[in-house]
Chains A and B, each alone.
Chain A
Amino acid sequence: MRIMAILRKELRQLSRDRLTGGMIVGMPLLQLILFGYAINTDVRDLRTGVVDMSGTQLSRQVTADLAVSQVMDLVMQAETPEQLTAALRRGEISLGVFLPRDFDRRVIQRDRPAGQILVDGTDPTITSVANQLRQFPIRFDSQARPGGSAGPAASFEVRTYFNPERRSAVNVVPGLLGTILTMTMVMFTAVAIVREKERGNMELLITTPISRGELMVGKILPYILIGLVQVALILAVARWVFQVPFVGSLLDIYLAAMLFILANLTLGLMISTFVGTQFQAMQLAFFVFLPSILLSGFMFPFDGMPRLAQWIAEILPLTHFLRLVRGVMLRGAELSELGPDLLALAVFAAVTLTLAILRFSKRLD
């Protein structure tokens, strides 16, 4: 079996290539740990500025309570809300607490939020922390409650600056699974073919009876295995280190991932037929990677994108994989309910593989 010959040879070479071997394990781990900062909501000592316009005993009490909560580190006392937003913009503080002139009255009447917390929304971690602060209890020691006894507790209003869409931490893991696979898988097959061209191995290989299909499929199979290893690694870290809940079936997640891996590998093969050097292959892989990150719904919500961007996104495997894995992992959907996205990935893989085989030439010219 020629396919098995290629498969065995690829795996053998990989096992000897320490750098690539290290990347296979190291890259997903590193990415996850780096992003884990975003996933980890247990954040402390955010630099905070305070504007207390009321200056009452109650407002000073609330400020002191916030300071001892360990979430905030009060680094700035401002005079006006404008100073607060300016400091926020300059990045000097991540949170701003605004207590209005009528703070006491608002706490008592509870008709409007008692105060505001201004949030630097560019950092999702901070956003999620601020959302928890919404529930920060405001004790009002003088017991007078003219407005009745059963009203809701006084609370803060949270204003997110710069990033009105608040992403939940859990959402990051499926997205990360998809982006890491895109980043590694496309590159693997693109480079695996081009490296042989560069090193001169291809000239010998295409002078043997091996068929184009055998060569292409033989190049894909080993990397499916490697992709699944990466998936297992990422899921394990997500589950045990970051406590991301898996609502749906693990088997479904793996099946979706396998199809997605295949689509990326065949895309890599197709890329390899357009380029002559590993450097070009990487550039082209990156050219695919960027729109995947931006348009797939990993960065920005899909529904908010312009129509054209959505059309482009529908071509990208990552878009469909994100829908699949979010559906299965977070909403507990069954794969059978997500047919269109499965079909899209399968068609993408079939088309790119066919193109790769047709475009690959057993000639040098």
Chain B
Amino acid sequence: MTATAVIQARGLTRQFGQLTAVDRLDLDVPPGQIYGFLGPNGSGKSTTIRMLCGLLTPTRGDAQVLGFDVIREPEQVKRRIGYMTQRFSLYGDLNPVENLQFMAEVQALPGSERRRRVDQLLERFHLADLRTQRAGTMSGGQRQRLALAAATLHQPSLLFLDEPTSAVDPKSRRDFWEFLFQLTETGTTILVSTHYMDEAERCHRLAIIERGVKVADGPPADLAAGIPYAVVEVMTGQGADARSLLQSRREIASVTQLGLRFRVLVDRSVTQPVELVRQVLAGEGVSGEVSLSAASLEDVFVAVTQKEQAGS
């Protein structure tokens, strides 16, 4: 897989003064897939994407994107990729047609093709009715579709999408992901950053980033299966007691409350995790239903960040 990787980064590091925003990142992105970048605010997602686009110079390490070195040949990289910035970066005082026309000219699409391509994109991204509306007055979802249209205008084989769906409602998000899957069907590789679990779940592959460090990497299902904890779900009315009791145990890595439910991560070294939780609660007279559950991506996230904290 490494041989055909669209993006290959080794020890990619970027410092801003004392702060290490991205720390020794290794990355292999296979072609034709959606590769997710999951991480909280400030974890270094945008910084990584900017380095891979040839916009930021890595402090250390190197990266090949579509076979070009991002440090020595950034212009070759820029020519071949599409980039959707985290912040809307088309022109708010121009309408969709003018914005796309402009980008088409800048991307040097042949004159004959330009108009056809712009019309096609307006149609495809449901922007045809908004032809004359200035981008600045469009809704978040409409702007985001316009930005994706602009990023795909020159049919790049690799797309970088930096949190494309923040500030967009769930329905629009679903529609947006439909677009992404359509794009992968034509062979486009997509690297998308997000902090939504449901979006991360839909990626072919996923890297979880925490404070600049990649803490997990793999298909979402593998990540869920691979965590070193058993997930035990507890249903109880005595939330506060249950929480403090469970948290006091060394074998229990984390307790997350979801309404009346608790998701408890128990170390794999415990052979009977459900029994352990039952005993802990019953011992202090807390009643509740206890059952084993399958790990979700949320649990993976909690688990890997837990490990980080324990390790540091």
**Which residues in A have some Cβ–Cβ distance to B below 8 Å?**
1-2, 4-6, 8-9, 12-13, 16-17, 199-210, 362-365
Contact = CB atoms under 8 A, between A and B. Distances in A.
Nearest to B57: A365
Given A203-B55, A363-B57, A208 B106 contact: yes
A204 B83 contact: yes
B94 A205 contact: no
A199 B94 CA distance: 14
B257 interface: no
Given A362-B74, A363-B74, A210 B106 contact: yes
Given A9-B94, A12-B98, A207 B81 contact: yes
Contact of A363 (B55, B88, B94, B105): B55
A333 B106 CA distance: 44
Nearest to A2: B106
A276 B201 CA distance: 39
Contacts of A8: 102
B90 A201 contact: yes
30 contacts: A1-B105, A2-B105, A2-B106, A5-B102, A5-B105, A5-B106, A8-B102, A9-B91, A9-B102, A16-B93, A16-B134, A17-B93, A200-B85, A200-B88, A204-B83, A204-B89, A205-B106, A206-B55, A207-B55, A207-B81, A207-B83, A208-B107, A209-B79, A209-B107, A210-B106, A363-B54, A363-B57, A364-B50, A364-B56, A365-B55
A8 B105 CA distance: 11
Contacts, number: 76
B87 interface: yes
Contacts of B108: 2, 209
Nearest to A205: B106
B241 interface: no
Nearest to A4: B105
Which label, helix, strand, loop or mixed, suits the secondary structure of the B interface? loop
A201 B89 contact: yes
B282 to A, nearest CB: 57
Interface string B69-92: 000001100110101010111111
Interface string B181-192: 000000000000
Contacts of A13: 91, 93-94
Among A1, A202, A203, max chain B CB count under 10 A is at A203
A203 B50 CA distance: 9
Contacts of B75: 209, 362
A5 to B, nearest CB: 3
Contacts of B50: 364
A200 B143 CA distance: 14
B53 interface: yes
Nearest to B55: A364
A17 B134 CA distance: 13
B222 to A, nearest CB: 32
Contacts of B57: 363, 365
B103 interface: yes
Contacts of B107: 208-209
B106 A363 contact: no
A60 B190 CA distance: 97
Interface in B85-124: 85, 87-94, 98, 102-103, 105-108
A203 B84 CA distance: 10
Given A204-B150, A207-B53, A209-B78, 20 more contacts: A2-B108, A9-B98, A13-B94, A199-B89, A200-B88, A201-B90, A203-B85, A204-B85, A204-B89, A204-B90, A207-B55, A207-B83, A209-B107, A210-B106, A362-B55, A363-B55, A363-B56, A365-B55, A365-B56, A365-B57
